Amino acid sequence: QVQVAESGGGLVQPGGSLRLSCEASGNIFRLVAMGWYRQAPGKERELVARVDSGGGSYYADSVKGRFTILRDYAENTKYLQMNTLKPEDSAVYYCNVLAYLSAHPGSHSEFWGQGTLVTVSE
């Protein structure tokens, strides 16, 4: 099986920091890309940040300069470091993993975590 497990969410005051963790386990041959999405109640799910194994990265304008993805490919783990948090950052955060299951070019698949809740409030 392949499983993506997330943790690190919780309640934090505005201006505070949190670090979210996502670990991909199971029969993964090679990690290609990792990303974080979030969805607040009544709003559309949005891409927050994404990095790939070639060094490319993307950050939404709303989080640039505040959020950073940290990677540990050897352990198939990624972290989302969130600083200077704002109430509008409150959402369920999901990690997304693109990986190859074998050396075959057509073996890539996409996996999602279960989500972790981040609440930014006094």
Helix (H) or strand (E) holding 69: strand 67-72
Residue-level pLDDT at 75: 66
Distance separating alpha carbons of residues 91 and 9, to the nearest angstrom: 10
Element (H, E) at 82: strand 77-82
Q: Give the residue with greater pLDDT, 2 vs 5.
A: 5
pLDDT (tens digit per residue) in 63-94: 999 999 987 765 678 899 999 999 999 999 99
5 neighbors 94 (Cβ within 8 angstroms): no
Structure tokens at 75: 């352990």
